[in-house]
Amino acid sequence: MDVVLIHGNSSCRGVFERQMKSGLGETYRLICLDLPGHGRSGDAYEKERTYPLPGLADAALEVLDALGVRKPVLLGWSLGGHVAIEMISRRKDFRGLFITGTPPVGENISEGFRGNLLKGLAGSSAFSHEQATQFADRVFDSAATPELARAAARTDGDFRTTLFSQARMAEKSNQREVVSSTKTLTAVVNGAADPVIDLDYVDRVPYANLWRKRCFRIDFAGHAPFLQTSAVFNHYVAEFLQDIERAGQS
């Protein structure tokens, strides 16, 4: 089974190292990609088209088509979860959706988050070294590393300002409606101490096909449970993928 892992804002594919090097990577084909303007991917030529959520979803779909990937499971973290939901809104051929740190928001985007996104850093332009370090510390907490700060510093500053501009955010789908109508099995697993998203809002979303009929919270984890409590997080992912396989065999 193919599993596509999509990273968050101002991060990179390397953030999923603890999944790639785990039993998940031995059992499943894990595909990680750097979104445009991140990691080893180049900055977008047409930033106004590529950096909004619809453009990121189209870019990810193009990668999957180029690789010949059919009917994968999408695993998205934070912004990556929003990209995954946007992909679901465009195509129906996905075996599963696993989101973490991602509130499926409707027209009122702010209702899914807690206050100012990372004290304004999430939408600011090019980072200084100090700002990149602050960003990594706030996102990853105890799991922050110099490599994650460098990934934040590398990200195209135009990406954040374009993504969060009012006009560009209005172009995305109503993601609350997407997860409330999709037949794709959807897992929602968050850190219980996530300082970025409103967990109560996430739990109240009327998901159409919610895995095991509930949203899960991982104790002692914040916005990046796949790093902060990777063993527990990987167990949830493994259980989700096994359930998908069982359903396909029945």
CB atoms within 10 A of CB 204: 11
| Topology (CATH) of 2-114+172-245 | Rossmann fold (3.40.50)
Q: What is the pTM of this model?
A: 0.95
Q: What is the DSSP string of 54-113?
A: HHHHHHHHHHHHHHT--SPEEEEETHHHHHHHHHHHH----SEEEEES-----S-GGGGB
Residue 224's φ and ψ, nearest 5 degrees, are -130, 65
Residue 167 pLDDT class (50, 70, 90 cuts): low
Task: State the burial class of residue 235 (Cβ atoms within 10 Å of its Cβ: 0-12, 13-18, 19+).
Answer: middle
Domain segments of the chain as ranges:
2-114+172-245
Instruction: Identify the CA nearest to 4 among candidates 97, 103, 127, 128.
Output: 97
Position 121 scores a pLDDT of 65
Q: What is the mean pLDDT of residues 140-160?
A: 94
- Check whether 171 has a pLDDT greater than 80: no
Residue 166 pLDDT class (50, 70, 90 cuts): low
**Are residues 163 and 80 in contact, defined by beta-carbon separation less than 8 angstroms?**
no
pLDDT by residue (tens digit) across 55-94? 999 999 999 999 999 999 999 999 999 999 999 999 888 9
Can you list the positions of beta strands (E) in the chain? 2-6, 29-33, 73-77, 96-100, 186-191, 216-218
pLDDT by residue (tens digit) across 103-128? 999 888 888 988 665 556 666 777 88
Q: What is the mean pLDDT of residues 164-186?
A: 86
**Are residues 91 and 78 in contact, defined by beta-carbon separation less than 8 angstroms?**
no
Q: What is the mean pLDDT of residues 148-171?
A: 86
